[in-house]
């Protein structure tokens, strides 16, 4: 099975100059906890999660007008839509990421795959192994 078959393709990006207030409103309205941060050409620059907002903004007492670029994660883990889903699972497990972005040959965002997408696959063993690897980031502390 290819990544293009399970990825969510109706993904909205925010820009690095958007504020964390904009990001939080978008997360609330779209019922998501993850946002890709892209340039005007949809090339991925980073990601922002609800956890980033809690740890890097709220816990530090920073203002809601803080730019996304000041708190986004710049480490970007990507796969291609034509990759086998197993490749996405390997990357998620290796990098302990619960979401992975799919980019085209020009590195423009075309979709996102989450652990819940993986969990819905018929290969329960592989999904379980991916979840176990990703969740080790919480267990290590």
Average pLDDT, the chain: 90
- Please return the burial class of 100, using the count of CB atoms within 10 Å of its CB with bins 0-12, 13-18 and 19+: buried
Q: Is 6's pLDDT higher than 70?
A: yes
**DSSP per-residue codes, 69-89:** GGT-B----EE-TTSBHHHHH
**Cα gap 56→29, rounded to integer Å:** 21
Predicted pLDDT of residue 138: 53
Q: Which CATH number do you get for residue 123?
A: 3.10.580.10
Structural domain span for residue 78: 3-139
For 94-131, the pLDDT digits (tens) are 999 999 999 999 999 999 999 989 888 766 566 566 66
Number of domains within the chain: 1
Predicted pLDDT of residue 126: 62
The DSSP secondary-structure symbol of 12 reads: P
**Cα gap 73→93, rounded to integer Å:** 18
Average pLDDT for residues 52-62, to the nearest whole number? Answer: 95
Q: Is 30's pLDDT higher than 90?
A: yes
Alpha helices by DSSP H, listed for 1-141, are 3-6, 20-30, 50-52, 85-95, 115-119, 124-139
Question: Cβ neighbours of residue 134 under 8 Å, at least 6 residues apart?
Answer: 92, 93, 96, 97, 98, 115
Percent of the chain with pLDDT over 90: 79
């Amino acid at each position: 099975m290819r990544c293009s078959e399970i990825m969510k393709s109706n993904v909205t990006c925010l820009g690095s100059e958007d504020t964390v207030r904009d990001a939080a409103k978008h997360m609330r309205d779209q019922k998501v906890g993850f946002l890709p941060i892209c340039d005007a050409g949809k090339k991925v620059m980073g990601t922002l999660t609800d956890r980033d907002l809690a740890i890097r903004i709220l816990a530090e007492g920073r203002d809601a007008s803080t730019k996304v670029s000041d708190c986004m994660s710049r480490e970007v883990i990507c796969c291609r839509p034509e990759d086998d889903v197993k490749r996405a699972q390997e990357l998620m497990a290796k990098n302990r990421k619960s979401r992975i972005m799919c980019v085209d040959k020009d590195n423009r965002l075309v979709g996102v795959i989450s652990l819940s997408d993986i969990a819905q696959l018929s290969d329960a063993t592989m999904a379980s192994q991916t979840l176990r690897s990703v969740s080790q980031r919480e267990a290590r502390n």
